Amino acid sequence: MTGDRPRDEAPRATAPGGLGDLTPTVQAYLMAAHHLEAAGQSVTPGALADRLGASPSSVTEGVRKLAATGLARHRPYAPVELTDAGRSFAVAMVRRHRILETFLARCLDYPWDEVHAEADALEHVVSDRFVDALDGFLDHPRRDPHGDPIPTRDGHLDHLPDIPLDRVPEGGAGVVTRVSDRDNSVLRHLAEIGLRPDSPVEVVSRQIELGIITVALHGRAIPVGTPVAAAVRVRVPSGDDSADDADDGAGGDVRTSSPG
């Protein structure tokens, strides 16, 4: 017995003790990997590079650091896999980010297309104690301004059985659960037409060849481009054939700038 560690087992001796021990870069990589996992995508270095807007070489180095600190496992030509510790830190970062977004929107009247970038800057410098205090001050919100579920302090994340609006069949109806915050112009457009979380919506017609879906919203028929509709997720009655596209809501604030 040589005592050598199996090749796919991440080292543990240098694993950090808390979020405060992680650099902003490591926090960013954890969140990016977590959001890819939540979206059912393979966490490859290429996918991370695309999400982070980083070069392949810097992502390779970032993944190496994750593995060296026991937060991920990675073998050549294989996807990156977060360890239990890495996933726990990632969920804690998601919680931190979404609580900050909620505070900015509720208490400081930030528009919902601006909260992400601001929370992204703040999340790397606030303490766990501050986030817990903010959570209590906000009366423990369950969703952020975009409708994404906020993990609890112990890491529980609500499951959202929803599907993209562009998958709802003609005549189908439901309630908006959340919207993607990847594109600020889309968020501004959704705000203008009133398509927000908790809004009841019905698909009146689908002109896919034209890239348009017409929805009934607040008593009006509104044409919506399919890329915009794809950014909106809807809870539909059980039994809908397209409900197999539902996910757990963990990747809602899916954009990351460093990421955040």
Q: Which CATH number covers residue 18? A: 1.10.10.10
Indicate whether 213 belongs to any domain. Answer: yes
The per-residue DSSP string of 68-80 comes to HTTSEE--TTS--
The reply to whether 187 and 221 lie within a common domain is yes
The answer, yes or no, to whether residue 257 has pLDDT greater than 60, is no
Whole-number CA gyration radius for the chain: 20
Of 126, 159, 192, the residue that ends a domain is 159
What's the rounded mean pLDDT across residues 65-72?
92
Q: Which CATH number goes with the domain that contains 222?
A: 2.30.30.90
Is 130 exposed, middle or buried, given 0-12, 13-18 or 19+ CB atoms closer than 10 A?
A: middle
The reply to whether 20 and 121 lie within a common domain is yes
The reply to whether 170 and 155 lie within a common domain is no
The answer, yes or no, to whether residue 248 has pLDDT greater than 80, is no
**Any idea what the Cα angle at residue 197 is, between residues 194 and 200, rounded to 5°?**
70
Of 159, 186, 221, the residue that ends a domain is 159
The answer, yes or no, to whether residue 250 has pLDDT greater than 60, is no
- pTM exceeding the 0.95 threshold for the entire prediction: no
Is 63 exposed, middle or buried, given 0-12, 13-18 or 19+ CB atoms closer than 10 A?
A: buried
Q: Is the dihedral of CA 38, 41, 46, 52 positive or negative?
A: negative
Looking at residue 237, what is its pLDDT?
85
Question: What average pLDDT does the structure give for the chain?
Answer: 86
pLDDT band of 18, cuts 50, 70, 90: confident
Indicate whether 245 belongs to any domain. Answer: no
Cα separation, 99 vs 132, in Å, equals 9
Total domains in the fold of the chain = 2
Go through the chain and tell me how many residues it has. 260
The reply to whether 199 and 179 lie within a common domain is yes
Cα separation, 182 vs 131, in Å, equals 24
Indicate whether 223 belongs to any domain. Answer: yes
The reply to whether 41 and 61 lie within a common domain is yes
- What is the tens place of the pLDDT at every residue in 95-154? 999 999 999 999 999 999 999 999 999 999 999 999 999 999 999 999 999 999 999 999
The reply to whether 51 and 127 lie within a common domain is yes
- What is the tens place of the pLDDT at every residue in 23-59? 888 999 999 999 898 888 999 999 999 999 999 899 9
Domain range spanning residue 201?
Answer: 163-237
The reply to whether 82 and 147 lie within a common domain is yes
**Any idea what the Cα angle at residue 32 is, between residues 66 and 159, rounded to 5°?**
115
Indicate whether 260 belongs to any domain. Answer: no
The reply to whether 155 and 198 lie within a common domain is no
The reply to whether 126 and 8 lie within a common domain is yes
Indicate whether 242 belongs to any domain. Answer: no
Indicate whether 149 belongs to any domain. Answer: yes
The reply to whether 185 and 199 lie within a common domain is yes
Indicate whether 199 belongs to any domain. Answer: yes
Indicate whether 259 belongs to any domain. Answer: no
The reply to whether 132 and 21 lie within a common domain is yes
The reply to whether 102 and 196 lie within a common domain is no
Residue with tokens 């969703």: 143
